[in-house]
Chain A
Amino acid sequence: MSIAMKLFRVIKPGFFTTVQDLGRHGFLKYGVPISGAMDDLSLRFANMLVGNNLGDACLELTMLGPELEALHDAQIAVAGGDISVQINEQDAQMWQTLRVKTGDVVSLGRIQAGCRSYLSVRGGVNVPIVLGSRSTYVRCEIGGIQGRQLKAGDEIEEFDVLQPLGFRLSVPRDFVPDFGAEANVRVVLGPQLKSFTEKGVETFLSNPYMVTIEADRMGYRLEGPAIERGELVDTISDAILPGAVQVPASGKPIITMCDAQTTGGYPKIAAVLSSDMHILGQAKPNNWVRFQRTTLSEAHRALVKYRDKIRTIESKLLQQRTSF
């Protein structure tokens, strides 16, 4: 039996804070996007640090974090984009288990490097499961807290079924990602490669593209040299997945992200590797994105490597126990 406890009252919601897990799978054919953490690696880190299942629901913070009042004792962690964490105005560390007591105020600042951070709570954030996931999909008001971003006065529940950890966990320094101003991501070309000229493909692969202000959980519009399309452009809508690089007539690419609609009619020149999506999830306006071409078999090896890396980090992390 799971017992839900009220853990936090939201004093300030932050810029755009939602509940996310690893996404809602199996409903694309009904037009329901996958949603889930934009940076799945950091969400996993945050969960590891409080001894959760790696896919448990966390708060995803965007650009500016929230201020929360603890309604009872708990263990939490913050991972992802570089953000200041304070508990009762005392500095606290990211990337490690933190303890909060009833009445404590947890304040998260502005994200300095990267775009999104994840706040985990031991036991996981408890919101109803909708279509197999707790992830918030704001556009259709599905999941999370009433299908929307947090607002002041909301109360966040956790599952109070786990004993508190008797030790502190921290992510070894070597594994803390570097959230630079340039996202280098690998792509496999296609599926509508024939809609582009050779020159267009060359342009796409050899130039950096800048993330514009039109960048959110649905997708990023990029600015940069126009990608030349061919004479026969395929514009019949078909299915799109997160990571697809679509090119409208302007030649300026749009990358679809977690909350993107499930179908679309712009030809897709390439798709970002699943194992690199977490890098893209940390890109923000004015950051640069560079695309590096890989083959499908390289992409599959990269995915195996990525999953291995997560397992390695988890076992290393469990060896880094220190006392509180």
Chain B
Amino acid sequence: MYPAVRYISFGDHALIMEFGNSINPEVNRKVHAFHDVISNAKLSGVCECVPTYRSLLITYDPTKISYEKLVSEAKSLEKMSKAGISERKARKAIVPVVYGGDFGPDITRVAQCHNLKEKDVIRIHAGREYLVYMIGFIAGFPYLGELADEIATPRLESPRLRVPEGSVGIAERQTGVYPREAPGGWHIIGRTPLKLFDPSWQPPALLQSGDTVKFRPVSIDEFWQIHSAASRGSYDPFIQE
């Protein structure tokens, strides 16, 4: 975490607020908290915000707000919001997953790599809550962290051309879910029946940056039950508190 937020200009219509230079939940939570602050402020000339691991990108229309003005507005919001910044309440989702087998072909390798049994990999992966650091790569893909060191595994040496929709993967100290079929180099350890992205939804992504996620191991039978409920739109993975 930097002692003071860094303001960096990007191109001719974006400002980056950088909060630190590492991937960790504390820095990332700051990003989401400030994303809320900027969004709520509804500054004229600000177009959209993109929260990522350690920074927040803010796009603007330079004919409506100058870069200097935007920076000074952001700085004063930053000062004003310092007190409230840790109180952000994250949404919590429980994501059902079938681990191993055809749905998670790499779980054996992950287990071997760490001298664990498959069931230990499942226990460890499903045993903690993850923060959605950011959405990127393909529409609706959540980057989740931090994965326990015991199962942190490097990317595949050669990426697969097709990773099926719903695949749950791990790479280094991160885990993520493929919202649709795509090429990918993450170790695939399971699959969720949930749909993560639908352009007809408002908003289009099930998970958003700053949410928290916990995985729940399910049987194949339950996978298909949830799959059909989810495709009817009658499955809510969020915990109501």
B208 within 8 A of A: yes
Smallest beta-carbon distance B12→chain A, Å: 4
Chain B interface, >50% SS class: loop
User: What residues on B are CB-neighbors of A296 within 8 Å?
Assistant: 9, 12, 67
Chain A interface, >50% SS class: mixed
> Are A131 and B54 touching (Cβ within 8 A)?
no
Smallest beta-carbon distance B101→chain A, Å: 27
> Are A31 and B135 touching (Cβ within 8 A)?
yes
| Docked pose: A164 CA to B164 CA in angstroms | 48
A64 within 8 A of B: no
Q: How many residues of A contact B (CB 8 A)?
A: 42
User: What residues on B are CB-neighbors of A175 within 8 Å?
Assistant: none
Kindly report which residue of chain A lies nearest to residue B51, judged by CB atoms.
Answer: A29
A167 within 8 A of B: no
> Are A268 and B48 touching (Cβ within 8 A)?
no
**B16 contacts which of A238, A262, A273, A274 (Cβ < 8 Å)?**
A238
> Are B199 and A29 touching (Cβ within 8 A)?
no
B138 within 8 A of A: yes
Kindly report which residue of chain A lies nearest to residue B8, judged by CB atoms.
Answer: A191
| Docked pose: A272 CA to B63 CA in angstroms | 18
> Are B138 and A191 touching (Cβ within 8 A)?
no
Smallest beta-carbon distance A268→chain B, Å: 7
A318 within 8 A of B: no
**A29 contacts which of B49, B54, B137 (Cβ < 8 Å)?**
B49
> Are A262 and B47 touching (Cβ within 8 A)?
no
B10 within 8 A of A: yes
> Are A237 and B139 touching (Cβ within 8 A)?
no
> Are B63 and A238 touching (Cβ within 8 A)?
no
User: What residues on B are CB-neighbors of A261 within 8 Å?
Assistant: 136-138
> Are B54 and A238 touching (Cβ within 8 A)?
yes
> Are A28 and B50 touching (Cβ within 8 A)?
yes
B189 within 8 A of A: no
> Are A28 and B9 touching (Cβ within 8 A)?
no
Q: Point out which of A31, A130, A140, A236 has the most chain B C-beta atoms below 10 A from its C-beta.
A: A31
A271 within 8 A of B: yes
| Docked pose: A304 CA to B62 CA in angstroms | 9
Chain B binder among A13-21, A85-93, A197-205, A239-247: A239-247
B34 within 8 A of A: no
User: What residues on A are CB-neighbors of B14 within 8 Å?
Assistant: 239, 241
With A28-B48, A29-B48 known as contacts, the answer to whether A140 contacts B180 (CB < 8 A) is: yes
> Are B48 and A26 touching (Cβ within 8 A)?
yes
Per-residue CB contact flags for chain A residues 257-284 toward chain B (1 = under 8 Å, else 0) read 0000111100010011111000000000
User: What residues on A are CB-neighbors of B11 within 8 Å?
Assistant: 188, 241, 243-244, 271-274, 299
From residue 119 to 140 of chain B, which have CB atoms closer than 8 A to chain A? Answer: 134-140
| Docked pose: A190 CA to B67 CA in angstroms | 15
> Are B63 and A304 touching (Cβ within 8 A)?
yes
With A236-B21, A236-B53 known as contacts, the answer to whether A31 contacts B137 (CB < 8 A) is: yes
From residue 289 to 305 of chain A, which have CB atoms closer than 8 A to chain B? Answer: 296, 299-300, 302-304
User: What residues on B are CB-neighbors of A142 within 8 Å?
Assistant: 139, 199
**B63 contacts which of A30, A268, A303 (Cβ < 8 Å)?**
A303
A234 within 8 A of B: yes
| Docked pose: A300 CA to B135 CA in angstroms | 30
Could you name 28 residue pairs across A and B whose Cβ atoms are closer than 8 Å?
A: A27-B48, A28-B48, A28-B50, A28-B57, A29-B48, A30-B204, A30-B205, A31-B136, A31-B139, A31-B197, A130-B199, A188-B11, A190-B9, A191-B8, A191-B10, A237-B53, A238-B55, A239-B52, A241-B10, A241-B14, A262-B50, A263-B50, A263-B52, A264-B136, A271-B10, A300-B12, A300-B66, A303-B63
Interface residues of chain B, those whose CB is within 8 Å of chain A, are 8-14, 16, 21-23, 47-55, 57, 59, 62-63, 66-67, 134-141, 143, 180, 182, 197, 199-200, 203-205, 208-209
| Apart from A25-B47, A26-B47, A190-B10, 8 more pairs, CB < 8 Å | A29-B51, A31-B135, A188-B12, A234-B21, A238-B53, A239-B16, A263-B137, A300-B67
